[in-house]
Copies of this chain bind each other. A is one copy, B any other.
Amino acid sequence: MQILTENEEIQFITGGNILTPKGFKADGVHAGLRYSKKDIGVIVSEIPANCAAVYTTSHFQAAPLITTKDSIAKEGLLQAVIVNSACANACTGERGLKDSNKMRELTAKKFQLKEHHVAVASTGVIGEFLPMDKIEEGIQLLSPGKDDQHAEAFQTAILTTDLVQKACCYSANIDGKTIYMGGAAKGSGMIHPNMATMLAFITTDAAVESSDLHIALKEATNKSFNQITVDGDTSTNDMVLVMANGKAGNSPLNKSHPDWPIFVQLLTTTCENLAKQIARDGEGATKLIEAVVTGAETDEDANKIAKQIVGSNLVKTAVYGADANWGRIIGAVGQCDAKVVPEKINVLIGDIVMLQNGEPQAFSEEEATEYLKNETVKITVDLQIGDGTGRAWGCDLTYDYVKINASYRT
């Protein structure tokens, strides 16, 4: 596997967002689900867009996910996605599904779209019903536009206790056209300490065939969103949605197109950027932890080990305390269901070698502590048994994590 980085073919667009690709508008308003912050947002495409979505694997998929799946199943096209924060509409039974279908219907009416061209997403408390009067009022207030203020209104409306908005934009030359791809995401926060949803919405003006877009999205999310963890808990509402409206005018992309790999890379880069923003803004987090695993028997093994490292409470607290406890990294690697030869393993924190061929190395504690005070901490493990590589991202575990999650209602 090639370790993806922002390479020559993919350009980062400073200040870009979901509205940089042609043909999309957005908005976000305060509908009263939250005290004062914006809480309902929408993205609308000028024309129905090819789309793909991936969803949480939880047994308890929330109602909006079922509504969205139903929409996409009809034609594989979406023209809008409506999102609310504050209430997850999860574990709400038949009434919950009726409510999310109603939310879809109201959005379709408001923007004169076909109902099945509307997707729905929610994030917030589990087990409470949507306040449909407020939802209805909120939808009426939406007035999508193309400028940065409208993008920011959307980015804000989908947040819960996230500290920062999460957006990015990249472009690439594909099929002789400049293709833009923008993303917005939320994750790690809790408006009510019942859940921690990850939502991401990606827009592109590329023309892409839906079935292949789905394949590309699965590949991209496996390397990005599925490789981040804040606390190891999977939400009932996780969703990543991409809309490709074809406004760039390229000939439709599919797996056979010579520029297909560039498109996949564009999508992966966008997903990775958003995923890292979510990990860095994890509840109570002060640092982003990146684990890079090389020399594994397979990429799957490498990804598994990388995720185990960034998911370990002991590694997370050590990084918070700027303590170069490589034994905890070994603990995480050791418990993985992956091929490991203890005598071959190398472990580095930053560029500082901790373990070489399974033997502890002398290192400067001071230098290591200094490195661990950075806002991004990289842990590298080379298994030296194969060509498999993988990466994962997480955050440190801090007093504030406990505070956010323990002391809300008491």
Contact = CB atoms under 8 A, between A and B. Distances in A.
A359 B93 contact: yes
Q: How many copies does the complex hold?
A: 2
A308 B20 CA distance: 42
A73 to B, nearest CB: 20
Among A231, A398, A403, find the residue whose CB has the most chain B CB atoms closer than 10 A. A231
A59 B340 contact: yes
A398 B196 CA distance: 19
A402 B405 contact: no
Interface residues of A, number: 66
Contacts of A333: 59-60
Interface string A319-332: 01111011110111
A185 to B, nearest CB: 19
A310 to B, nearest CB: 13
Interface string A174-210: 0000000000000000000111100000000000000
Contacts of A193: 314, 317-318, 321, 323, 325, 328
Interface string A29-55: 000000000000000000000000000
A322 B405 CA distance: 11
Contacts of A365: 409
A289 interface: no
Contacts of A403: 399
A89 B137 CA distance: 65
Interface in A335-350: 335-336, 340, 342-343
A369 interface: yes
Contact of A336 (B59, B326, B340): B59
Interface stretch (A138-146, A160-168, A233-241, A245-253): A233-241
A398 B402 contact: yes
Nearest to A354: B127
Given A313-B405, A405-B314, A360 B127 contact: yes
Contacts of A195: 327-328, 331
B327 A125 contact: yes
Interface string A391-410: 00000011101110111111
Contact of A332 (B88, B233, B343): B233
A76 interface: no
A265 interface: no
A355 interface: yes
